[in-house]
Every structure is written in structure tokens, then in C-alpha cells.
Amino acid sequence: MLTLTAAGAVGVSLSNSSAAPSAHRGADVTTNAKLDPLNNSAASGHAQVTISGSNLKVVLNARRLLKGMPHAEHIHFGPKARHECPSVRDDSNSDHRLNTAEGTPAYGPVRISLTTKGDTSPDSTLAVNRFPTAPKGRISYSRTIHVKPALAERIAAGKGVLVIHGIDYNHNGKYDFKGAGKSELDPSLPAEATDPVLCGRLQ
């Protein structure tokens, strides 16, 4: 009986000491973003990112998007950015739409591409065949992504901004050049495919 108690005590002590260092490294941090429409879109959504060391578990739901077309989605961050969503004041050429570049002072450059598979780096910013296509106008996305520790820390500190792109300005059910011309990011794509539609700061 005494031996069992001692063994039990040792077991408890071991599990306590093994739990302590991981708590010291940092418990999981959960950030949330209410996704608000940009460019007079009717879309809405919510994102949650749970930071666990260098892993980010991203869960994202959005609705009232152009259906059946790819929607690029990213986490943006820049050390010099304002860590917020752009406003009409960011419409630097006063054309009454915010393109992705005009939003950069607010949310910074792309740091993570929320693709459905494969690479998630900024290299995949416009990987249109690996982004959700919003059947019925809805996106329901979940993926765990490994990132560099410094970036995970910045996002855990509430400095990441989640942006979803793709808006059908002329309501013809597709991305086309008649909506708003060429994309400032890639002239082979319509601006409708790359302009931001939803945005929220992860905090």
C-alpha cells in the first residue's frame, strides 16, 4: 500500500513537471475576427485562428459571396501596417473601390495563403485553383497551418488581418473585366477576382 502510494505520488509529480514547461512556452491563444464587407459587398463572415506554438488552426465561415468562383483568402500582416481593415480613406485613386494594393497600408502584405491544399506561403497568393469556390455563396474552411514562430507570435498578439477576395461588382455571376477592369496584382485577371470583399482583424 505504501509502495503504491509512493508510486502514485511519483506519477503525479512527473506529470506536473512535464506539464509545467509546455505551459511556460505559452498556452494556446485563440483570436477571432468578425469579417466585415468591403466594396459595398453584402457578404459576411467569421474567422477563428487558434495559435498553438507554430501551428495555426484556421476555421473560417463566410456567406453571400459570388458562388462557384474561387475566393483568394489570406492572413495579412506587416510590421508597418496599421493592423486594421481599410476604409474609404485608403481609396488613394478615388475610384470608389478599394483594390488589394490600396488596402496594404492598413493590413500589410500577404503572409499566409489560406489554400485548400499544398503551399500556404505568399507564393500562393493568387493560386486560384486552390482556394475555396463558395458553392451556394458560402465558404466553410478549416485547415491547420505551420508557420514561422515569429509570425505566429504576431498573429497571437492580434496583429493579423484576415482578408477574403473576389467580388462581382456588375452582378453577372462571374469575374469579368467589365466589372472593374484588370487586377492591379495580375493584369491577366479581372480586378473582380482580386479586390477584397471581406476583412477582419484577428484579435
Contact segment (CB under 5 A) with Cu ion among 31-39, 78-86, 156-164, 183-191 equals: 156-164
- Cβ atoms of 49 and 200 within 8 Å: the answer is no
Q: State which residue, 74 or 201, has the beta carbon closest to Cu ion.
A: 74
User: Which residues 14-73 are close enough to bind Cu ion by CB under 5 A?
Assistant: none
111 binds Cu ion (CB under 5 A): no
Q: State which residue, 52 or 61, has the beta carbon closest to Cu ion.
A: 61
- Cβ atoms of 55 and 145 within 8 Å: the answer is yes
Q: State which residue, 74 or 159, has the beta carbon closest to Cu ion.
A: 74
Min dist. Cβ of residue 6 to Cu ion (A): 58
139 binds Cu ion (CB under 5 A): no
Residues contacting Cu ion: total by CB under 5 A: 2
Number of Cα atoms under 13 Å in the Cβ half of residue 131: 24
Min dist. Cβ of residue 34 to Cu ion (A): 17
CA distances from 53 to 26, 147, 160 (A): 7, 9, 16
Min dist. Cβ of residue 113 to Cu ion (A): 8
User: Which residues 159-188 are close enough to bind Cu ion by CB under 5 A?
Assistant: 163
Distance between CA atoms of 159 and 29, rounded to whole angstroms?
Answer: 13
Distance between CA atoms of 130 and 71, rounded to whole angstroms?
Answer: 9
151 binds Cu ion (CB under 5 A): no
Contact segment (CB under 5 A) with Cu ion among 17-25, 86-94, 157-165, 172-180 equals: 157-165
Q: Please enumerate, as own/partner, the contacts of 100-104 that have beta carbons within 8 Å and a separation of 24 or more.
A: 100/163, 100/165, 100/183, 100/184, 100/185, 100/194, 100/195, 100/196, 101/184, 101/185, 103/38, 103/163, 103/196, 103/199, 104/76, 104/78
Q: State which residue, 151 or 163, has the beta carbon closest to Cu ion.
A: 163
Candidate list 38, 39, 47, 74; residue touching Cu ion; CB under 5 A? 74
Q: What is the contact surface with Cu ion in residues (CB under 5 A)?
A: 74, 163
